[in-house]
Amino acid sequence: MPAAGLPPTERHVDGLVEMLLDATRRYDEPLTGDRVKSWHAALFPTGYSGMAKIDVGRWRSGREAMQVVSGPLGKERVHFEAPPSSRLGREMRRFFAWFESSRGEMDGLVRAAMAHFWFVTIHPFDDGNGRVGRAIADLAIAQDEGSGLRLYSVSAQISREREQYYEVLERCQRGSGDIVDWLVWMLGCLARAIERAEAQIGTAVVVARFWQEASRLTLSARQKKVLNRLLDAGPGGFEGGLTTRKYVGMTKTSRATAKREIADLVEKKLLVRGSAGGRSTRYELAWDEIQIGE
């Protein structure tokens, strides 16, 4: 799609997208240390994580154990202590060997969940382990499906459920090594990612059908803008419904023009009027009409 007119993205966002595309589109290629390190370098192109200088594209170094902490200075809470840097080379070789040998030998979704957990537990980088680990999970799922094209993303769903993710991850990392709770949560997260994708696809179909029907009608740019806002909000998503005042605010037109254009949309059966009258009149998209033909 043409990029003209789109707002510029930040470099770290581009790096995240590049990593995820590499993981899913090149799913048949082996997962290696060099590949994972290139993903990490794409995430931190400046060599900094916030204000902190980090080792980019290299396993973490230093003699002290790596601790995952939160909280204010002097009151930090240690969530997890990762293996020391001296063990990283050996631990990562074991991980990569298992990742390749386990392909096709176990349930693909369980393998994806285990791979993510194992990687973030080793915690090989100074920062970005969760993002790289989520890309590894997406890679494992793409390998299981045998396709680099997918309409859902477990990585994106984990980001939406970040609080629950950290809670179950910490509980299993600090436990006896039993990760059944993690596997159950991860598989549930995958199911919710698929459900979300289905809902988004359904919305896209409804929007496409709406504009297909509306294409035979003459509409002003202001009317199209308001209809798009209502479509984006979904059924019942536009709080309080559409009013003349809101129409004026969205289109920067006069109240008289807003009333005339709303009446036109009602006449064309694109909007329906609520039961209240006067200044309390509210309008909604004619969703029942849009759903016809499903």
Answer with the residue of higher pLDDT: 82 or 239.
82
Encode 84-105 in three state secondary structure.
CHHHHHHHHHHHHHHHHHCCCC
Please state which CATH class domain 11-198 belongs to: mainly alpha
Mean pLDDT (whole number) for 8-22:
73
- Distance in angstroms (rounded) separating the CA atoms of residues 114 and 178: 11
| CA distance linking residue 253 with residue 235, whole number of Å | 25
DSSP, res 160:
H
Q: Is the pLDDT of residue 34 over 60?
A: yes
Q: Which of 75-84, 91-100, 133-142 has the lowest mean pLDDT?
A: 75-84
Q: Which fold has domain 217-291?
A: Arc Repressor Mutant, subunit A (1.10.10)
Please give the pLDDT value at position 241.
Answer: 83
Smallest CA-to-CA distance from 226 within 201, 208, 202, 253 is with 253
Instruction: Say if residue 232's pLDDT is above 90.
Output: no
Q: 11-198 with 217-291: one CATH topology?
A: no
pLDDT of residue 292: 43
Is the pLDDT assigned to residue 294 strictly greater than 90? no
What is the reported pLDDT for 225?
Answer: 92
Give start and end residues of each alpha helix (H) in the chain. 11-25, 33-43, 88-101, 108-122, 129-145, 154-160, 162-173, 180-214, 221-233, 244-251, 255-267, 287-291
Contact in structure between 16 and 135 (CB atoms under 8 Å): no
CA distance 140 to 104: 10
Q: Can you give the residue ranges of every domain in the chain?
A: 11-198, 217-291
Residue 10 has pLDDT above 70, yes or no: no
Amino acid at the residue 16: L
- pLDDT surpassing 80 at residue 9: no
For 221-232, what is the mean pLDDT?
90
